[in-house]
């Protein structure tokens, strides 16, 4: 059984007299235990798709399951299967890292003893044990991102959704978060990753899907996507995922220059 399955996923909005199709029939299959990258330009339908998969938005058409649970028929059951770390970490800076994790564990029904043990485990997992009893107000950006990852893992989710986990971090902190994502995945958690850094997708993801104008336009492993582009264009140098992105979406470097690629 796949970790995530979406078939014919659709989302339409009513904007005045006009009906807008944000997602127009997306099919996704994510294997258990893989890191799956979901990329696309601004307005492509990426965020809408993720919000539907995480039960934050209703489906207009199609179906989706996460961890084997139908997100429409049983959204509460689906939420038990997933962890979500959004771009802006929702952390109370007045609390310590340990207090945040303990509270989260208690909200998921753990006893005081179980919550304390789980907080200890997670602080060790994301290498924050030495900072666990310090207030989050004094954490660096990278430390906050790692604590946010830990918070999303409290209930041992089968699938972890990461929305641009390294945006705004310095290069050293970004590499540290990459290491944490790899470590989390190695323990068996499936990761669904959106990122604005194509290098990040290349380093972390087993497979990728590009979405544009509400449809999946290209999918494969980073290596296979680059190889296909190189062979089709008879390139003499190894293309990058940036080249694949530009080719898949029909954009040019001039159009992308100065523009943040939300992917």
In a domain, 127, yes or no: yes
All residues at 6 or more sequence positions from 30 whose CB lies less than 8 Å from its CB, including other chains: 2, 3, 4, 5, 36, 159, 190, 192, 207
In a domain, 238, yes or no: yes
User: Could you give the number of structural domains in the chain?
Assistant: 1
In a domain, 165, yes or no: yes
Give per-residue pLDDT as tens, 106-163.
Answer: 998 999 999 999 999 999 988 899 999 999 999 988 888 889 888 888 999 999 999 8
User: Is the predicted pLDDT of residue 257 greater than 60, yes or no?
Assistant: no
In a domain, 262, yes or no: no
Output the domain CATH number for residue 238.
3.40.50.300
In a domain, 191, yes or no: yes
In a domain, 80, yes or no: yes
Query: Domain residues for 197?
Result: 4-256
In a domain, 263, yes or no: no
Residues in the chain: 263
In a domain, 261, yes or no: no
Closest CA to 41 of 228, 213, 161: 213
Cβ–Cβ < 8 Å for 127, 135 = no
Give per-residue pLDDT as tens, 2-54.
Answer: 999 999 999 998 888 888 899 999 999 999 999 999 998 888 888 899 999 99
Residue 70: DSSP 8-state: E
Give per-residue pLDDT as tens, 64-107.
Answer: 999 999 999 999 999 999 998 876 667 888 999 999 999 999 99
């Amino acid at each position: 059984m796949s970790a995530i399955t979406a078939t014919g996923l659709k989302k339409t909005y009513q904007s005045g007299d006009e009906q807008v199709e944000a997602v127009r029939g997306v099919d996704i299959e994510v294997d258990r235990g893989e890191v799956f990258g979901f990329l696309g330009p601004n307005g492509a339908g990426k965020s809408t798709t993720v919000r539907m998969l995480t039960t934050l938005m209703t489906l207009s058409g199609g179906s989706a399951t996460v961890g084997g649970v139908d997100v429409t028929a049983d959204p509460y059951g689906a939420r038990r299967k997933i962890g979500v770390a959004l771009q802006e970490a929702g952390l109370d800076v007045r609390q310590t890292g340990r207090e945040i994790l303990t509270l989260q564990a208690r909200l998921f029904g753990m006893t005081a003893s179980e919550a304390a043990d789980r907080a200890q485990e997670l602080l060790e997992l994301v290498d924050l044990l030495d900072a666990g009893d310090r207030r989050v107000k004094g954490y660096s950006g990278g430390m906050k991102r790692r604590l946010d990852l830990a918070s999303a893992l409290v209930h041992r989710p089968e699938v972890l959704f990461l929305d641009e986990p390294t945006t705004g971090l310095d290069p050293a902190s970004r590499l540290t978060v990459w290491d944490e994502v790899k470590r989390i995945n190695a323990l068996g958690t499936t990761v669904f990753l959106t990122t604005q850094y194509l290098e990040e997708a290349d380093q972390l993801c087993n497979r990728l899907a590009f979405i544009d104008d509400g449809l999946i336009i290209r999918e494969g492993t980073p290596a296979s996507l680059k190889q296909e582009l190189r062979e089709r264009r008879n390139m003499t140098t190894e293309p990058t995922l940036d080249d694949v992105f530009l080719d898949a979406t029909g954009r040019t470097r001039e159009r992308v220059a100065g523009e943040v690629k939300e992917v």
